[in-house]
């Protein structure tokens, strides 16, 4: 199952790459009416000149959730480690006879990269992020919806197209005379990728903070941090409209896609971040055979094994003498 899940993750990443950086999928060429005011907004330059450039957006949606989850899991682990409840402390997991998995690493990895460590690697957040990108790119390729500044970068020859006296509908392939890259990007407006990715990252992180942090005195801190993240995502969508890079319907659709995928990942995949204990995941008959741990099987480094062996093979004083 581990290799199968790795193959799925690799396939998702590759599909996102082909959508983003190759011409494997042709964008639908949507026609337009001459002098349509909906597509004559000014062009404010490439995406790199935006108030929220792609480099910063991708760095934030990838880095901020990872840092927050790592910090929270570290604090939760340290609080549990220094607690007096020794029975509820997480144990060090031994994978075979060579590898040791620290419980802090296990907790952080489970919520950043997967639901369970033992044989079930699922890149929950990363998988959802790439899935959001795929959904958005697929929508853009299929619809070919025009950006508000499409006619500005298209620069159609209205005289050659017969638009001098009537606003006729134009759907010819060679109707535009502007830069081909700008024209192609202007045909990929619906839904808004920036809105979808920002809302996915913000909502996933907000739900994690709300469901995992149970400390006293955080009743206002949790909603403040969560609403702050959602506000940043909302401002990202507004910026797309203000800069005439997307329509309102594009941004709203991006919000819906990113939010839906985030909710599905939290509720359906990681199940509200309530991971099962590895002690409950390992059946006794698989982890112990005749009192001897099987080669390659995970086991818990505490006195559970000794209790199990003593219960199966009690040694009396008479047998010793």
pLDDT tens digit string along 2-30? 677 778 888 888 999 899 888 889 999 88
Burial of 266 (0-12, 13-18, 19+ CB in 10 A): buried
Average pLDDT over residues 30-41: 90
pLDDT band at 112 (very low <50, low <70, confident <90, very high): low
Strand, helix or coil for residue 287: helix
pLDDT at 216 over 70: yes
pLDDT of residue 105: 57
pLDDT of residue 87: 47
pLDDT digits (tens, 9 = 90+) for 136-190: 999 999 999 999 999 999 999 888 887 876 678 888 778 889 999 999 999 999 9
Average pLDDT over residues 74-93: 59
Percentage of residues in the chain having pLDDT higher than 90: 38
DSSP per-residue letters across 201-268? HHHHHHHHHHHH---TT-TTHHHHHHHHHHHHHHHHHHHHHHTTSS-HHHHHHHHHHHHHHHHHIIII
The pTM score is: 0.74
Mean pLDDT of the chain: 77
In this predicted structure, which of 49-53, 68-72, 87-91, 113-117 has the lowest mean pLDDT?
Answer: 113-117
Say which residue, 8 or 272, is predicted with more confidence: 8
pLDDT of residue 98: 55
pLDDT of residue 166: 67
Say which residue, 81 or 139, is predicted with more confidence: 139
pLDDT of residue 292: 42
Of 154, 155, 158, which is closest to residue 167 (Cα–Cα)? 158
Of 270, 266, 250, which is closest to residue 110 (Cα–Cα)? 270
C-alpha 259 chain-centroid distance:
11
pLDDT band at 319 (very low <50, low <70, confident <90, very high): very low
pLDDT of residue 123: 63
pLDDT band at 294 (very low <50, low <70, confident <90, very high): very low
Average pLDDT over residues 61-81: 79
In this predicted structure, which of 51-55, 118-122, 148-152 has the lowest mean pLDDT?
Answer: 118-122
d(CA 178, CA 157): 10
d(CA 162, CA 17): 40
């Amino acid at each position: 199952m581990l290799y199968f899940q790795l193959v799925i993750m690799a396939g998702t990443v590759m599909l996102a790459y082909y959508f983003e950086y190759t011409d494997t999928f042709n964008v639908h060429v949507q026609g337009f009416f001459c002098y349509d005011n909906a597509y004559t907004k000014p062009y404010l330059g490439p995406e790199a000149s935006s108030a929220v450039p792609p480099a910063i957006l991708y760095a934030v949606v990838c880095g901020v959730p990872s840092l927050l989850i790592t910090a929270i899991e570290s604090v939760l682990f340290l609080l549990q480690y220094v607690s007096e409840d020794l029975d509820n402390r997480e144990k060090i997991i031994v994978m075979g006879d060579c590898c040791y998995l620290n419980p802090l690493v296990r907790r952080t990895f489970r919520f950043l990269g997967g639901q369970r460590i033992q044989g079930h690697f699922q890149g929950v957040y990363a998988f959802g992020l790439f899935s959001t990108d795929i959904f958005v790119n697929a929508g853009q390729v299929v619809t070919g919806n025009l950006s508000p500044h499409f006619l500005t970068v298209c620069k159609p020859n209205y005289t050659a197209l017969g638009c001098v006296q009537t606003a006729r509908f134009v759907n010819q392939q060679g109707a535009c005379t502007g830069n081909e890259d700008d024209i192609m990007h202007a045909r990929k407006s619906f839904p808004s990728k920036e809105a979808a990715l920002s809302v996915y990252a913000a909502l996933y992180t907000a739900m994690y903070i709300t469901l995992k942090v149970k400390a006293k005195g955080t009743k206002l801190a949790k909603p403040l941090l969560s609403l702050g993240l959602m506000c940043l995502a909302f401002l990202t969508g507004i910026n797309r409209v203000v800069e005439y890079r997307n329509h309102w319907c594009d941004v709203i659709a991006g919000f819906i896609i990113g939010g839906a995928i985030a909710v599905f990942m939290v509720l359906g995949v990681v199940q509200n971040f309530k991971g099962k204990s590895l002690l409950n995941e390992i059946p006794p008959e698989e982890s112990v055979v005749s009192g001897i741990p099987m080669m390659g099987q995970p086991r818990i480094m505490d006195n559970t094994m000794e209790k199990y062996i003593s219960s199966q093979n009690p040694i009396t004083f008479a047998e010793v003498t």
